[in-house]
Structure 1
């Protein structure tokens, strides 16, 4: 276990896969039980009686706000809906709220965590130019699709 453990949330954490992952993490002591959140629809913590320090919730928003890492362990149809909601919420937040997206990135960098290290490395790289080249290629191809 690290000196500064992160907090993990498992949406669908009492389903077959989520339960197995959560118990493997607890058994390996990857994170302490008080750094594990489980979200499910029922609000029951079946199978986690030996770990009273786990945070159980039926509110995925609470889990998302309380965790550093989120694992989505739900059936595919539910996952599709959850991912769409995530993008909708993130887009709405970015479009309507302060701080701006650039300010959010700067806050992550100022925090100087793992995300900041990745963002700083990407800023020093040619990733923006590479993405622009890829988008230009996609646009060029789009313009030829109907005309061939």
Structure 2
């Protein structure tokens, strides 16, 4: 993004808002197309960010920007109340319906999305769903914003967004839970905690990079089972037990919470 392209304003600079801000700030080609707004006036750690682009009045940010990104906790959504008619509004607030975004901002050009703190490293997955009045230019701008954060897809239905809020929104989330269980196991075998921690971190880093391309995860699992080595014994145990069902149940619990949170 460059200044001559379009300006983006982020309302809310908590964990997710700060991650999005870092991604967009790092992605700029020249100048500054980014504004931030929070109640405290605290400036996130963005090298070279102009102090006059940090605002405490959300309406002032909405007036200054072409695209407004709402990034406050769902419980604080009703306090936004900005006038953004005729502008693109993108919400990354979990569980806040698209119709409510339109009502709170008075903009029919609204998008509901979900990203993650991994955006700070351009590693987030950010799916989104658009209202009928969202234009082709709006879609192009939404894609540019989320591609700066990682990868992105436009969804066919708003309901699907709840599933991604549960699945890809909480990073490291469920992946960290799996890593913690594996680390607990090897520590229980008498392995030093610092070695267990280092091994598990490297395992998940390597696995993530390897799964980022090539065969699907399911194909890679089957290839290891077909090889019939030591890992195959453990994978067969997982497949015969409740592992997949428990993962599905955990995700469904998170989806249900997403639907009830606002």
Relative to the length of structure 1, the TM-score reads: 0.50
- Residue 52 of structure 1, CA deviation: 2.3
Q: Tell me the SS of whatever aligns to 2:48.
A: coil
Specify the structure having the higher radius of gyration (Cα).
Answer: 2
- Name the residue aligned to 1:27: 26
After TM superposition, give the deviation of residue 79 of structure 1 in Å.
1.8
* Structure 2 SS opposite 1:23: helix
Cα 1:114–1:31 change in 2 (3 A) is farther
Equivalent pairs counted in the alignment come to 92
| Secondary structure of residue in 1 paired with 2:41 | coil
Note the C-alpha offset of 1:41: 0.5
State the superposition RMSD in angstroms: 3.1
Alpha-carbon deviations, 1:120-144, whole Å to 9, x = none? xxxxxxxxxxxxxxxxxxxxxxxxx
Q: CA 1:81–1:75 in structure 2 vs 1: closer, same or farther (change >3 Å)?
A: same
1:62 aligns with 60
Distance 1:30 1:53, change over 3 A: farther
Structure 2 counterpart SS, 1:19: helix
Q: TM-score, normalised by structure 2?
A: 0.30
Q: Is the 8 A contact 2:18 2:44 kept in 1?
A: no
Shift of 1:82: 2.5
CA distance in 2 between counterparts of 1:82 and 1:29 reads: 27
Q: Distance in 1 between matches of 2:102 and 2:40?
A: 21
- CA change 1:52–1:2 in 2 (3 A) is closer
Contact 2:37–2:58, Cα closer than 8 Å, also in 1: yes
Q: Equivalents in 2 of 1:85, 1:114: separation in Å?
A: 19
The aligned counterpart of 1:44 is 42
Matches within 5 A, 1:1-148: 1=1, 4-12=4-12, 14-29=13-28, 32-33=31-32, 35-52=33-50, 55-82=53-80, 87=103, 90=106, 114=137
Matches of 1:57 and 1:73, distance apart in 2: 15
Deviation at 1:40, TM superposition (A): 0.2
d(CA) in 1 for partners of 2:66, 2:20:
17
Deviation, structure 1 residue 51: 1.6
Does the CA-based 8 Å contact 1:10-1:72 persist in structure 2?
yes
Equivalent pair of 2:9/2:37 in contact (CA under 8 Å) = yes
RCO higher in structure (CA 8 A, sep ≥6): 1
Residues 1:46 and 1:53: Cα distance change in structure 2 (over 3 Å): closer
Q: Secondary structure at the match of 1:47?
A: coil
